[in-house]
Structure 1
């Protein structure tokens, strides 16, 4: 397949690109190397695949309709995997207009370009945050998702609705995948597991919001990549699918897992819960299992150990280079 991959220089996107290239697909990556976190991380991701003749990188913004239309005219896309987004629940509270512009208008720009060029297949990266602070667990795709707690969550839900509109109007085949807290080697540096690991190793306090009872359904990046690829292989109609680990862990227990993997003890600085945060996430993956044959394979304890091993190796490599 000839695939347009938006956000392909990021954490999930770069892992997906490498796997799709192994399977013989051609990848055209569109990424603006956003400064939400240090773009050097993304550029290093891109450099890992630049020498592959089936990989083409374009730096640019999904809101740039002229650029997007040019890509659709230049390449005969079979499908779009749309991962590009302004990330982060808490920062979205401070700048909701930016999140709506990127996540909603950017998605609309892509959908319109697809309609103009005759491309009808998309896998869209949504988020478990659309469920809000639902007390009913596990989260099922048929649950009402009309009470998001952050602009980020609301923007993802709005983009899902746009996808359904284009499915209805033009017969697009679109799967909206609700990812549940993705982690693993090379993950974004501002994410909790990265920050906790770095701070603990450096003898610094970690910031914990709340009493540690909040829980998240952490999903290892390889399982997310599997869910995306299985969606591409089964893409027909419009579906919303949970892609998660289906094994939530409390924040307090997560910290203990990281401590054991590091062989170190955390110094904890507790602060109140933050606006936009939810108490729990928990994916019911029955539908994904039935439609895609999706099953997560990496337990949190094993995934954290793999992340810690990667992190230590990266730190050792930096020391050697210095």
Structure 2
């Protein structure tokens, strides 16, 4: 709490799933936070369920609007920026590739350029994804030194965000503007109701007693509870902010332990162990391309930052299903979220 107490922290994408958890986590650590994002999507979303519109400051701004974005940034004058705002769904990126690229790439350009023009020091952590690497479907985990790439529009656009961040750091970085990037795995946790995403789809089926339709049961993913990568983002931001020699301004992976990389079918099995149901294989040979195997090496974050995952695969599943199940039967979602943050802090 000591470092974050009183820090002025701008969160882009605070109305999204990860952004809402991050907002709650930073409030618990005493930060003064401000959010910039589009209004939350869908009828049910964590931002509104947690009443964050009443509990934190923020503005609904499209990061594709450079003037509106720069105005809010100048007004808030952040110490630290955590950039999560993005179009984050692979299959949606196929439907709207131009919107995907303009949000993810030009939105990041607009943000970094607004920070470049501030008259005060600021540290930025740009959040990308495990999908930034050129995916060769190999068995070993991707390291930060592996080539960037991306088959689908989403993955390629997030790899481009890595290039944008590196360019801004090399061209405009200084003691006044520090930039790092963070690449996380497949995050899960209570309060995600996004369309076309695995855990929300499973929860929707469990709530209604329907069969869970699994598109790619054999696909392998680095599953982790949302609080683990968020802890990594905050630790990276702290290290970058305090360093006086340009240290830590680079890309870092924040994934699970190697033993916690599992096929999609294993995730479904683990979830229905805690909330009974059943799943069926709904694979479609004509579906758009999605990676068959993803895994991240976390050696660099462990060795250089002192970061390591707190909750293992089974812990993450249990915490996630428990959150949804309790809220479904009347528990206060704010209390549930804060209790899980407290349990996470205690387990570190």
Please report the TM-score for the alignment, with normalisation by the length of structure 1.
0.90
**Equivalent residue in structure 1 for 2:147, among 144, 147, 158:** 144
Aligned pair partner of 2:253 in 217, 242, 251: 242
- Secondary structure, in 3 states, of the residue corresponding to 1:107? helix
Aligned pairs (5 A) from 1:47-62: 47-48=51-52, 50-51=54-55, 55-62=56-63
Q: Are positions 1:11 and 2:11 aligned together?
A: no
**Contact between 2:253 and 2:296, CA under 8 Å: does it hold in 1?**
yes
Partner of residue 292 from structure 1, selected from 299, 305, 324: 305
Q: Quick one: distance in 1 between partners of 2:50 and 2:208?
A: 29
Cα distance 1:252–1:75, how it changes in 2: closer, same or farther (>3 A)? closer
- Tell me how far 1:317 sits from its aligned partner: 2.4
Task: For residues 31-51 of structure 1, give each alpha carbon's deviation from its aligned partner in whole angstroms, at most 9, with x where no partner exists.
Answer: 11254xx16515415624633
Alignment of 1:53-132 (within 5 A): 55-118=56-119, 119-132=121-134
Q: Give the match's secondary structure for 2:213.
A: strand
SS at 1:102 equivalent:
helix
Partner-residue secondary structure (3-state), 2:329: helix
Cα displacement string for residues 40-91 of structure 1 (whole angstroms, at most 9, x for unaligned residues): 515415624633xxx3111111122222222232122112110000110111
Native 8 Å contact 1:27 1:56 kept in 2? yes
Name the Cα RMSD after superposition.
2.0
**Does 2:347 align with 1:315?**
no
Equivalence for 1:155 = 157
| Map of 1:29 onto structure 2 | 35
What is the alpha-carbon distance in structure 2 between the residues aligned to residue 124 and residue 305 of structure 1?
A: 29
CA contact (8 A) 2:12 2:36 kept: yes
Are the equivalent residues in 2 in contact too, given 1:9–1:46 (CA < 8 A)? no
- Contact map agreement 1:180 1:218 (CA 8 A) in 2: yes
**Secondary structure in 1 matching 2:127:** strand
Q: How many residues align?
A: 311
Q: Deviations over 1:211-248 (max 9, x none)?
A: x2211001111101211110111015421111111320
Separation in structure 2 between the aligned mates of residue 262 and residue 222 of structure 1, nearest angstrom: 22
Unaligned runs of 5+ in 1: none
Distance 1:24 1:34, change over 3 A: closer
Contact between 2:16 and 2:40, CA under 8 Å: does it hold in 1?
A: no
Q: 2:81 touches 2:123 (CA, 8 Å); kept in 1?
A: yes
SS for the counterpart of 2:117 is helix
Determine if the alignment matches structure 1 residue 207 to structure 2 residue 213. yes
Relative to structure 2, which stretch is displaced further, 156-165 or 192-201? 192-201
Quick one: structure 1 residues 82 and 46, their matched pair in 2 at CA, closer, same or farther if it must change by over 3 Å? farther
Is residue 188–residue 224 contact of structure 2 (8 Å, CA) maintained in 1? Answer: yes
- Check 1:137–1:159 CA distance in 2 against 1; reply closer, same or farther (3 A cut): same
CA–CA distance in structure 1, aligned partners of residues 139 and 276 of structure 2: 36
Alignment of 1:223 with 2:228, yes or no, is yes
Residue 33 of structure 1 contacts residue 43 of structure 1 at CA under 8 Å; is this kept in 2? no
Which of 181, 184, 188 is matched with 2:189 structurally?
A: 184
Q: Conserved in 1, the CA contact under 8 Å of 2:17 and 2:47?
A: no
Alignment gaps of 5+ in structure 2: 1-6, 332-348
Select 2:318's aligned residue among 294, 305, 312. 305
Comparing 160-169 with 306-315, greater Cα deviation is found at 306-315
Contact 2:212 2:278 in 1 (8 A): no
CA distance in structure 2 between the aligned counterparts of 1:288 and 1:209, rounded to whole angstroms: 32
